[in-house]
Amino acid sequence: MMRRLVLLSPLLLVGGCASVQSTFNTQGPGAARIAPLMWAMIILFLAVSLVMWILIVIPVRRRGSLDEHEPVDIGGGQGWVALGGLLIPLLVLSGFFIAGLVVLESFPIHDPSKQTRFKPDILIIGHQWWWEVHYLDGPVNEHFVTANEIHIPAGQPVTLELKSADVIHAFWVPSLHGKLDMIPGHPNFMRIEAYHPGDYAGECAEYCGVQHAHMRLLVVAQAPSAYKLWLRQMVRPAVQPTTPEAIAGEHLFLSGPCAMCHTVRGTLAGGSVAPDLTHLASRQFIGTNSLPNNTAYLEAWITNAQSLEPGVLMPDLTDFSGTQLRDLVAYLQQLK
């Protein structure tokens, strides 16, 4: 059995990676510019590793005693040390440094001193541990805020302004672009584009605390027509509940602790320390894209968020009865 698992492990790895977004699967011009440099580094690494293994194996396979070799203190070989330990690494690292600068120069850079100031389409603010997303295109009355799931039109460049509300984060969607740090007090800009419609996974790429590994991203690229429809839906305030359960759930939401932290546009809930929930039911995931957005996980998140992601600001709310929890989830699930 173990032998079969060993033989099948490469196939399992390939199958497991089929749906994973990675730097090897370039789906945007930003990632495509970086890919040649990445491949050059990988190929060089493999070549150097092969040479090193050959140099290790050759003396290991030799037979004989110390009497057949020159004394270890005879000296010599300094030239090889200087060549392999200094000159070649210096040339290789300098070459990659220059190549990296060339790739960096190919990206548009926000520089107010040179009048190349970007007008952001989307402002993304990193929090411990979620993403606040402001859509800024169009008239001010059409601006809106959402969280964690970022929609863009496929085939069109979108300018992102990246900020941090607390510690250093890093925005990274490897299939679309390289990573860019989000440093408190220092806005950064990125122009991102997806060739085709699809879902592109990403994550925070800078350690930012206990839930760093769960600070995930999801970029949803849509056909331009579908993206416009999505924008029109997101601008609207929250849907008013119609079923008895959802109406009771809205009352619980507005009269309880939820409204002190979350915003639901069109209601009295105006909290700003947690994600905007106006259209929560339209998102694929909750918990910063770590958990499916379904009834079971919504109930678990409301009552025991700390058991799912210890350290998050969402407290455990264990005072709701079973009926109250059902009503609250019914309200949240109609926020589309």
Whether residue 278 contacts residue 267, with contact meaning beta carbons closer than 8 Å, is answered with no
pLDDT 10s digits, 276-286: 999 999 999 99
For 70, the 3-state DSSP assignment is: coil
Confidence band, pLDDT 50/70/90 cuts, at residue 107: confident
Nearest residue to 269 (alpha-carbon basis) of 286, 247, 285, 252: 252
How is residue 50 written in tokens? 């092969």
How is residue 63 written in tokens? 């037979």
What is the per-residue pLDDT for 84? Answer: 77
- Report the chain's terminal Cα–Cα distance, integer Å: 49
pTM value is 0.81
Confidence band, pLDDT 50/70/90 cuts, at residue 9: very low
Peptide bond into 129 cis (omega under 30): yes
What is the C-alpha to C-alpha distance for residues 232 and 288, in angstroms, rounded to an integer?
Answer: 24
Domains with residue ranges and CATH for the chain: 114-235 (2.60.40.420), 244-333 (2.60.40.420)
What is the C-alpha to C-alpha distance for residues 93 and 53, in angstroms, rounded to an integer?
Answer: 21
How is residue 229 written in tokens? 């429809």
In this structure, what are the phi and psi dihedrals at residue 221, rounded to the nearest 5 degrees? -90, 125
How wide is the angle at C-alpha 216 spanned by C-alphas 186 and 25, nearest 5°? Answer: 100
What is the C-alpha to C-alpha distance for residues 153 and 197, in angstroms, rounded to an integer?
Answer: 8
Residue 333 burial by CB count (10 A; 0-12/13-18/19+): exposed, middle or buried?
A: middle
What is the C-alpha to C-alpha distance for residues 87 and 83, in angstroms, rounded to an integer?
Answer: 5
Please check the confidence at residue 86 and state whether its pLDDT lies above 80.
Answer: yes
In the chain, which residue ranges form alpha helices assigned H by DSSP? 2-16, 29-61, 78-82, 88-105, 224-235, 244-255, 258-261, 295-308, 322-333
Mean pLDDT for all residues in the chain: 86
Q: Which tops the pLDDT comparison, 257 or 64?
A: 257
pLDDT 10s digits, 311-330: 998 888 888 889 999 999 99
Q: Which tops the pLDDT comparison, 199 or 21?
A: 199
For 188, the 3-state DSSP assignment is: strand
Confidence band, pLDDT 50/70/90 cuts, at residue 21: low
Rounded percentage of the chain residues whose pLDDT exceeds 90: 53
pLDDT 10s digits, 38-80: 899 899 889 988 988 988 888 777 766 666 666 666 766 777 7
For 280, the 3-state DSSP assignment is: helix
Q: Which tops the pLDDT comparison, 37 or 4?
A: 37
Determine the residue type at 255.
Answer: S
Out of 43-47, 82-86, 301-305, which region has the weakest mean confidence (pLDDT)? 82-86
What is the per-residue pLDDT for 15? Answer: 40
